[in-house]
């Protein structure tokens, strides 16, 4: 069932689980992940990603084999410093700059939430839940996110381990090897 | 002196062995550790088979570079010219002649510092460690102050490899992603 963010239909089993899950995940403001990321589209890219989120601020490191092309995106979704071997520059259009510089782009504002398995708050979204009250697919901001696998940490809600992010031009696959929630979300 | 590095690399036609690789943060904490087997054949051929913590292969025949990740089921194909220009992986395999691409300084006996001459090199600097003429370690400093340290073990010299060892055949179902111009 595709669920709009409009008036709440009668809560089915997984809908209730989804609402509980959302409430739990929304309290997670400090987290980090280490994983692998690959882009297909006009330009390919595959490499390592390390994402550290502290409230609104993030530090995202992306690098290819042997650390080649290491690039750091730091700041918040509306103003980002992009640093690589050639230097650093600050931009308020990180998505556009990345597309021009590398031929691929990352929906930073979206990924901050999608990586956790949440939609961007306050923006229209369509989603389909899996049987456990978790997102299976999410359509938002021009991207379709498909959650292929979740991982269940010792405490707290399940977290995405393998996801696909596609806007019809660029398709990203993110594989999380290690999650760390710094403020443990209530179970 | 600096020439010792060039000599050591020049007279080693082929190398193979095991490597342990650690990615270190600027304060030397280990971000990620991996290991596997490697093979090098001058000029320009090299192959890194990562076995732990996940399966990846970085292979070059001197013209093309393949970066395959089994879990991501994708191989990125790039021309060596743009992909590893002036990187130590290329250096060790002799794809780029030493003094064309690097300023080499002997930091201490058997340890050499390399600064890429090209401004847009994909890393800041590197050090190569030798022991009786064989490379034992490689340290690559990237633009973010992080270091990829690779240590080599059980190194066999002047080995021969079976045909196609430095080429990648995508398994069925693996997405091949080219770089513009390939």
More confident residue, A119 or B143: A119
For B101, the 3-state DSSP assignment is helix
B90 to chain A: closest CA residue: A66
What pLDDT is recorded for position B98? Answer: 74
Rounded-to-integer distance, Cα B36 and Cα B130, Å: 20
What pLDDT is recorded for position A34? Answer: 95
**Residue B63 contacts by C-beta under 8 Å, 6 or more apart in sequence?**
B44, B79, B80
Contact list in B for residue A69 (CB cut-off 8 A) is: 122
Say yes or no for a CB contact (<8 Å) between B121 and A43. no
- CB-CB: which of B23, B140, B180 is closest to A103? B180
More confident residue, B8 or A35: A35
- CB-CB: which of A68, A72, A103 is closest to B123? A68
Say yes or no for a CB contact (<8 Å) between B180 and A42. yes
Say yes or no for a CB contact (<8 Å) between A36 and B179. no
For chain B, what percent of residues have pLDDT higher than 70? 91
Mean pLDDT value across chain B? 86
Residue with tokens 């076995």, as numbered in its chain: B51
Say yes or no for a CB contact (<8 Å) between B87 and A68. yes
B78 to chain A: closest CA residue: A44
Rounded-to-integer distance, Cα A171 and Cα A163, Å: 10
- CB-CB: which of A44, A84, A177 is closest to B177? A44
Please count the helices (runs of H) and the strands (runs of E) in chain A.
Answer: 3, 12
Q: What is the ipTM of this complex?
A: 0.85
Among B50, B85, B178, B34, residue whose Cα is nearest residue A68: B85
pLDDT tens by residue, chain A, 187 residues:
555 566 555 456 688 999 999 999 988 999 999 999 988 876 677 889 999 999 999 999 998 888 888 899 999 988 999 998 888 999 999 888 888 887 777 888 889 999 999 999 999 999 999 999 999 999 999 999 999 999 998 888 999 999 999 998 888 999 999 999 986 445 4
Q: Over 60: is that where the pLDDT of B6 sits?
A: yes
Contact list in A for residue B140 (CB cut-off 8 A) is: 66-67
Q: Is residue B84 very low, low, confident or very high in pLDDT (cuts 50, 70, 90)?
A: low
More confident residue, A92 or B89: A92
- State the Cα angle at A67 between B56 and B89, rounded to 5°: 75
pLDDT digits over B165-179, tens only? 999 999 999 988 886
- CB-CB: which of B58, B74, B143 is closest to A65? B58
- CB-CB: which of A68, A84, A173 is closest to B72? A173
More confident residue, B37 or A66: B37
For B97, the 3-state DSSP assignment is coil
Please state the rounded mean pLDDT for residues B116-130: 83
What are B27's two structure tokens? 């304060």
Rounded-to-integer distance, Cα B133 and Cα B141, Å: 23
Q: Over 50: is that where the pLDDT of B180 sits?
A: no
What pLDDT is recorded for position B128? Answer: 92
Please state the rounded mean pLDDT for residues B84-98: 68
What are the backbone angles phi and psi of residue A12, rounded to the nearest 5°?
-80, 175
More confident residue, B30 or A45: B30
For A94, the 3-state DSSP assignment is helix
What pLDDT is recorded for position B181? Answer: 37
What pLDDT is recorded for position B43? Answer: 84
Question: What are the C-alpha distances in Å from A47 to residues A34, A64, A69, A173?
Answer: 11, 4, 10, 11
Contact list in B for residue A71 (CB cut-off 8 A) is: 143-144
Say yes or no for a CB contact (<8 Å) between B72 and A61. no
Say yes or no for a CB contact (<8 Å) between B32 and A48. yes
Rounded-to-integer distance, Cα A128 and Cα B153, Å: 50
Q: Over 80: is that where the pLDDT of B119 sits?
A: no
For B3, the 3-state DSSP assignment is helix
Say yes or no for a CB contact (<8 Å) between A36 and B72. yes
Q: CB of A180 within 8 Å of any CB in chain B?
A: no
- Beta carbons of B80 and B62 less than 8 angstroms apart: yes
Rounded-to-integer distance, Cα A38 and Cα B133, Å: 38
């Amino acid at each position: 069932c595709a669920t709009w963010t409009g008036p709440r239909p009668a809560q089915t089993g997984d809908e209730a689980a989804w609402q509980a899950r959302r409430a739990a995940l929304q309290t997670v403001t400090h987290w980090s992940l280490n994983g692998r990321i690959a882009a297909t589209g006009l330009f390919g890219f595959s490499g390592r990603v390390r994402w550290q989120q502290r409230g609104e601020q993030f530090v995202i490191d992306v690098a290819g084999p042997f650390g080649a092309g290491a690039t750091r995106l730091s700041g918040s979704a509306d103003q980002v410093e992009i640093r690589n071997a050639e230097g650093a520059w600050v931009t308020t259009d990180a998505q556009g700059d990345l597309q021009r510089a590398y031929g691929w782009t990352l929906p930073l504002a979206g990924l901050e939430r999608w990586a956790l398995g949440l939609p961007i708050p306050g923006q229209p979204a369509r989603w389909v839940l899996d049987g456990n009250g978790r997102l299976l697919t999410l359509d938002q901001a021009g991207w379709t996110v498909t959650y292929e696998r979740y991982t269940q940490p010792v405490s707290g809600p399940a977290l995405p381990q393998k996801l696909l992010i596609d806007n019809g031009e660029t398709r990203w696959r993110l594989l999380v090897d290690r999650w760390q929630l710094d403020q443990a979300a209530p179970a | 002196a600096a020439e010792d590095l060039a000599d050591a690399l020049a007279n080693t036609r082929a190398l193979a062995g095991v490597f342990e690789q650690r990615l270190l943060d600027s304060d030397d904490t280990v971000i990620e550790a991996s290991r596997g087997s490697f093979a090098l054949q001058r000029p320009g051929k090299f192959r890194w088979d990562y076995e732990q913590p996940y399966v990846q292969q970085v292979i070059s025949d001197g013209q093309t570079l393949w970066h395959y990740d089994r879990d991501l089921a994708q191989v990125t194909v790039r021309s060596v010219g743009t992909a590893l220009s002036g990187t130590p992986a290329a250096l060790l395999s002799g794809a780029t002649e030493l003094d064309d691409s690097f300023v080499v300084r002997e930091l201490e006996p058997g340890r050499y510092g390399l600064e890429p001459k090209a401004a847009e090199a994909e890393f800041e600097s590197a050090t190569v460690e030798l022991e009786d003429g064989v490379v034992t370690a490689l340290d690559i400093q990237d633009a973010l102050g992080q270091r990829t340290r690779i240590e080599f073990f059980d190194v066999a010299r002047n080995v021969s490899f079976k045909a196609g060892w430095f080429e990648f055949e995508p398994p069925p179902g693996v997405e091949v992603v080219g770089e513009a111009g390939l």
